[in-house]
Each structure stands twice: as structure tokens, then as C-alpha cells.
């Protein structure tokens, strides 16, 4: 199995699970019960985009010409989420352990996705 197929398949599966969780129950996904309607709407919007992105990832597994696009989108997403979470860390204070762990995992995934993008 090629690295790019493994990375896309893994990230699409993980993305679909987390996006579906956030789409169905955003308060559980962020472990906070007192979210306002605007926050809930925005969380569901991000989750809906995540579902579509995961589906595109699965489609690209059988359509090789889409794989570079999916990997570039994944790279941009990982870098963007890390930048936002790191900025929040300094501006808003230390987040919970889960968020700190996700920052580290996302940072570690960036070179893996880059390597997958460069492999053919």
C-alpha cells in the first residue's frame, strides 16, 4: 500500500468520525453544554465541511488525479488548525489536555502528509 493511500484513508476515516460526532452532537464533541446558538451553528458548519472533505478523501482513493488536491487541502487544514490553536494558547491561555494533545498530533502529521504528497 502506498503512503499517500494510507494517509488519505486514515485521515478521511478519522475526519468522518470526528465530523459526524460534531455534526450530531457538537456540545459533546467540545465537552461543553452551555454553547449558544451561534457557536452551535458554527460547529455544525465546520462539521458539515469536515464530512464533505472526508467524502472527497474517500473518493480520491479510487481517483488518483484528486489525491494531490486532497493532500494539499489536508496540509493547509493541519497547518491552519495548529496556527489557530497555538495562537489561542498564547492569547486565551492553556487549553485542556485533549486540545494540547491534538496540537502535538497535528504538528506531527504535517511532515507525514508532506511526505505522502511528495510520493507518487
How far apart are alpha carbons 93 and 90 in whole angstroms? Answer: 6
pLDDT for res 62: 93
- Judged against a pLDDT cut of 90, whether residue 118 lies above it is answered with yes
Tens digit of each residue's pLDDT (9 = 90 or more) over 95-104: 888 888 888 9
Q: pTM of whole model > 0.75?
A: yes
Tens digit of each residue's pLDDT (9 = 90 or more) over 26-83: 777 777 777 788 888 888 898 899 999 999 999 999 999 999 999 999 999 999 989 9
pLDDT for res 74: 94
Average pLDDT over residues 13-19: 92
Tally of domains in the chain: 1
Long-range contacts of 49-55 (CB under 8 A, 24+ apart): 49/19, 50/15, 50/16, 50/18, 50/19, 50/22, 50/23, 51/16, 51/19, 51/20, 51/23, 53/15, 53/19, 53/77, 54/12, 54/13, 54/15, 54/16, 54/19, 55/12, 55/16
Average pLDDT over residues 11-40: 84
- Domain range for 31 is 3-118
Amino acid at each position: 500500500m502506498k503512503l499517500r493511500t494510507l494517509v488519505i484513508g486514515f485521515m478521511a476515516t478519522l475526519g468522518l468520525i470526528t465530523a459526524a460526532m460534531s455534526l450530531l452532537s457538537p456540545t459533546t464533541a467540545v465537552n461543553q453544554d452551555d454553547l449558544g446558538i451561534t457557536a452551535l451553528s458554527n460547529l455544525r458548519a465546520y462539521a458539515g465541511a469536515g464530512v464533505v472533505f472526508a467524502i472527497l478523501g474517500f473518493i480520491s482513493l479510487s481517483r488518483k488525479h484528486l489525491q494531490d488536491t486532497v493532500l494539499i487541502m489536508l496540509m493547509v487544514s493541519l497547518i491552519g488548525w495548529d496556527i489557530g490553536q497555538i495562537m489561542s494558547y498564547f492569547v486565551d491561555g492553556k487549553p485542556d489536555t485533549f486540545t494540547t494533545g491534538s496540537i502535538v498530533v497535528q504538528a506531527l502529521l504535517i511532515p507525514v502528509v508532506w511526505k505522502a504528497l511528495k510520493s507518487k
